[in-house]
């Protein structure tokens, strides 16, 4: 480091503390602005990311495959052939989980009353990998793989129908041949879900039992694919549609729940708008501080230039002050904002106390929002504030260097 630069930095450090109160207020404004940008971007980013990551809590796949026409009328006769060998046929990313389901709408009846339900025929040993709520059995247990008379129900449905583990539950559906089908099941377990709709309306039976109930042979209505990276779902769905042909349709979570795509775009726009507003205010604050600091010392700079100090040295001195203010402000803001984002990425913030989730246009979103802790985003925000502080300091520095020494000495 050159002697001139070292001298400029040393003088700059001393000068920023000549008016301690103004310097502290200025640095606090910059630091608080940076904290707000880091924390808020982490919050809205975490909200959108949690909504995507919690798709399996609602039993929704990152990609779902149907026989074309099934989703339009939910006709149980429109089904896919046995999907047990599809994993080998489909080119799925490593770590992907795949499972076939038989779907129907029906009526669940107990001695207490009846409730409309969605019946899902699943593979008992595989479905908990696709539906996270089946990993949370609050009473009883998951039925054995060969259990064709067992049923899993949610806590709300168990309460409404006064059912306990071991109780009988009658399911009635419309068969594929348009006749009515019914069978008696035993409650093997009760699951907990953050979604009240799932806990009250979804009933799980074995795939074999569902096929018998609907009068289907070796067929399924839905193939669910869960992948490690939800953002890759759109590309995967496009590839599967090309590979499967016109008889089937593969839909990503963004097509199944367009509201999540809108939420993601909305939160991104809000974050950009807030960041722009905060940066604008911070920039004005920096400009005001540096301009006042320079203008009130115009006579001092005039003396320096009259004694032979080159304008470039004066410019370096003012920029050194900007450098120290930017460095201290950015470091404090980044550290505080990063710590807040990291802490709430683990602890979370409950925006709807007393509930586990809320419904947003059909999507179930956990009320406990965890911020997204991203060192890269923190570094970008910090770098932007840092560079902006240095750039804003150029104006007052260039203004003072354009003054003639005699003119500067006349300033009071």
Residue with tokens 């994993």: 87
For the chain, the domain total comes to 2
Instruction: Clarify whether residues 49 and 166 are in a common domain.
Output: no
Instruction: Clarify whether residues 249 and 168 are in a common domain.
Output: yes
Question: Which backbone phi and psi does 173 adopt, to 5 degrees?
Answer: -135, 170
Instruction: Clarify whether residues 95 and 169 are in a common domain.
Output: yes
Burial class (CB in 10 A: 0-12, 13-18, 19+), 272: exposed
Per-residue pLDDT of the chain (412 residues; tens, 9 = 90+): 567 778 878 888 888 888 888 888 888 888 888 898 889 888 887 877 776 666 766 678 889 999 988 988 888 888 887 655 666 667 788 888 888 899 999 999 998 899 999 999 999 999 998 888 888 899 999 999 999 999 999 999 999 999 999 999 999 999 988 889 999 999 999 999 888 888 889 999 999 999 999 998 888 899 999 888 888 888 999 988 888 888 889 999 888 877 777 777 777 777 778 778 877 877 777 777 777 777 777 777 777 777 777 777 777 787 888 888 888 988 999 999 999 999 998 888 887 776 766 666 666 777 778 888 889 888 988 888 888 877 887 787 777 777 666 665 666 5
Instruction: Clarify whether residues 133 and 231 are in a common domain.
Output: yes
Q: Using CA atoms, how far apart are residues 235 and 62, in angstroms rounded to an integer? A: 11
Instruction: Clarify whether residues 310 and 373 are in a common domain.
Output: yes
Instruction: Clarify whether residues 274 and 217 are in a common domain.
Output: no
Instruction: Clarify whether residues 141 and 267 are in a common domain.
Output: no
Question: Whole-model pTM?
Answer: 0.72
**Residue 386: HSE in the Cβ half-sphere, 13 Å Cα cutoff:** 15
Instruction: Clarify whether residues 268 and 286 are in a common domain.
Output: yes
- Boundary of a domain, candidates 253, 280, 299: 253
Instruction: Clarify whether residues 48 and 178 are in a common domain.
Output: no
Instruction: Clarify whether residues 67 and 149 are in a common domain.
Output: yes
Instruction: Clarify whether residues 115 and 248 are in a common domain.
Output: yes
């Amino acid at each position: 480091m050159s002697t001139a630069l070292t001298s400029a930095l040393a003088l700059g450090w001393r000068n920023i503390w000549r008016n301690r109160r103004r310097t502290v207020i200025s640095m606090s404004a910059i630091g608080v602005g940076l904290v707000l940008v880091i924390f808020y971007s982490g919050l809205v980013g975490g909200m959108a990311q949690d909504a995507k990551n919690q798709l399996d809590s609602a039993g929704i796949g990152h990609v779902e495959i149907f026989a074309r026409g099934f989703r339009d009328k939910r006709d149980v006769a429109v089904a896919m052939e046995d999907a047990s060998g599809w994993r080998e046929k489909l080119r799925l990313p490593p770590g992907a989980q795949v499972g076939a389901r038989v779907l129907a709408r029906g009526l669940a009846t107990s001695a207490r009353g009846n409730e409309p339900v969605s019946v899902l025929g699943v593979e008992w040993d595989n479905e908990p990998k696709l539906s996270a709520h089946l990993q949370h059995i609050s009473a009883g247990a998951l039925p054995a793989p060969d259990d064709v008379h067992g049923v899993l129900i949610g806590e709300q449905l168990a309460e409404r129908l006064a059912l306990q583990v071991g109780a009988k539950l009658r399911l009635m559906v419309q068969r594929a041949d348009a006749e009515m089908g019914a069978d008696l099941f035993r409650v093997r377990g009760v699951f907990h879900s953050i979604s009240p709709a799932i806990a009250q309306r979804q009933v799980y039976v074995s795939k074999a039992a569902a096929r018998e109930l609907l009068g289907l042979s070796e067929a399924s209505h839905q193939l669910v694919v869960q992948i490690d990276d939800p953002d890759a779902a759109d590309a995967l769905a496009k590839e599967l549609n090309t590979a499967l042909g016109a008889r089937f349709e593969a839909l990503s979570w963004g097509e199944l729940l367009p509201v999540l795509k809108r939420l993601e775009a909305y939160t991104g726009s809000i974050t950009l708008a807030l960041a722009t507003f905060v940066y604008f205010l911070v920039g004005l604050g920096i400009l005001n501080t540096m301009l006042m600091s320079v203008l009130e010392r115009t006579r001092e700079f005039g003396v320096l230039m009259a004694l032979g100090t080159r304008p470039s040295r004066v410019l370096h001195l003012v920029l050194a002050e900007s450098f120290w203010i930017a460095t201290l402000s950015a470091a404090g803001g980044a550290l505080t904002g990063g710590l807040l984002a990291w802490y709430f990425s683990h602890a979370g913030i409950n925006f709807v106390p007393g509930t586990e989730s809320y419904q947003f246009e059909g999507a179930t979103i956990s009320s406990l929002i965890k911020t997204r802790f991203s060192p890269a985003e923190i570094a970008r925000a910090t770098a932007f504030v840092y560079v902006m502080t240095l750039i804003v300091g150029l104006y007052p520095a260039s203004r003072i260097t354009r003054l003639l020494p005699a003119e500067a000495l006349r300033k009071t």
